[in-house]
């Protein structure tokens, strides 16, 4: 069994526990998620099964979309509603225009400090493990991108709902905290729903119970997406069948053996923007890169998927 399940993660479960449930339901040994979703949060959590795990990092690198509620007037040690209040602010008053103006300032490339309670590793342990031991570690600042941020509703006096599209590595808890600080009254994340990861949308997701039912009826393939469904953002090439063994054995092949070459991505380097899907013998065999120029280019596999 190989592919990707678009799982609807319920609140109260860790991303790892969802993976373990999927393994138990499907009786499979190899499965992995595509980006941690906070335990109290719900929403899209694509789970890669079998050889599908080989593309997990490519899904992780894609844009994420969230609907989030922030509560003003307090900060917590975890940055969310589950944490202990560490600061409290009184006598603040805002209108919808004030909130819209402030959140708009966070659109684009920003520097963000992740929460001390996060899954980032430090000296072999997660940061939340250090924090729970009473030895919190201050995470390093990182650059993330907020592609879009929109105020959906303002519930006077202290709550607002927003929709966010962002890059990998973005912590919505930190975004709420920083918006609150910019307003001068603090804030924490009181609700989070992930509605999309790459091409996987919440409208097409399945609960754990639904997945169990499909499996029990031997219909799991009806909801198991093929591996290349996670890579539709990449251009593709079709390689002559005679080059199959050369490619899967790590050799480069000349452009003459490639159909429908996307000239716009003839690579000057091996950045991820130049990654392409490689099909041969009517199947996806890997993720490759074109190197050279229009007159003399070669294709080689960066990630073999068979």
Q: Which residues are catalytic?
A: 38
Distance CA 136, CA 134 (A): 6
- Closest to 55 in 3D by CA, of 268, 234, 217, 185: 234
- Provide the token pair at 138: 């201050």
Give the residue carrying structure tokens 């103006």: 101
Contact 125, 61 (CB under 8 A): no
Give the Cα separation of 112 and 146 in Å (integer).
11
Alpha carbon distances (Å) from 71 to 107, 159, 174 = 20, 5, 13
Residue whose tokens read 């709550």: 159
Backbone angles phi, psi at 28, to 5 degrees: -120, 150
**Cβ contacts of residue 12 below 8 Å, gap of 6+?**
39, 40
Give the DSSP per-residue string, 183-239: HTS-EEEEEEEEEEETTEEGGG-B-HHHHHHHHHTT-GGGTEE-GGGGGTTS-EEEE
The sign of the dihedral angle between the CA atoms of 168, 169, 174, 179 is: negative
């Amino acid at each position: 069994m190989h592919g990707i399940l678009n799982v609807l993660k319920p609140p109260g479960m860790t991303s790892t526990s969802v993976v373990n449930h999927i393994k138990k339901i499907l009786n499979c040994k190899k499965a992995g998620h595509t980006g941690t979703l906070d335990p109290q949060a719900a929403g899209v959590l694509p789970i890669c099964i079998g050889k599908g795990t080989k593309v997990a990092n490519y899904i992780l690198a894609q844009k994420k979309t969230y609907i989030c509620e922030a509560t003003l007037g307090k900060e917590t040690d975890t940055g969310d509603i589950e944490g202990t209040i560490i600061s409290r602010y009184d006598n603040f008053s805002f209108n919808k225009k004030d909130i819209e103006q402030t959140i708009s300032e966070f659109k684009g490339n920003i520097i963000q400090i992740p929460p001390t309670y996060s899954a980032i590793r430090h000296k072999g342990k997660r940061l939340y493990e250090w924090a729970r031991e009473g030895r919190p570690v201050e995470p390093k600042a990182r650059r993330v991108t907020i592609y879009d941020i929109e105020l959906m509703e303002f519930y006077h006096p202290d709550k607002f709902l927003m929709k966010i599209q962002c890059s990998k590595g973005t912590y919505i808890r930190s975004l709420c905290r920083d918006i609150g600080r910019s307003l001068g009254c603090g804030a924490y994340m009181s609700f989070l729903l992930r509605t999309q990861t790459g091409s996987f949308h919440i409208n097409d997701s399945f609960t754990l119970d639904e997945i169990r039912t499909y499996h029990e009826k031997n219909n799991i393939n009806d909801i198991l997406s093929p591996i290349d469904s996670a890579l539709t953002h990449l251009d593709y090439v079709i390689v002559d069948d005679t080059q199959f063994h050369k490619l899967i054995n790590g050799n480069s092949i000349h452009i003459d053996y490639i159909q429908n070459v996307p000239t716009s991505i003839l690579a000057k380097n091996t950045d991820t923007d130049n990654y392409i899907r490689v099909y041969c013998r009517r199947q996806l065999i890997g993720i490759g890169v074109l190197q050279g120029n229009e007159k003399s280019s070669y294709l080689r596999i960066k990630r073999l998927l068979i």
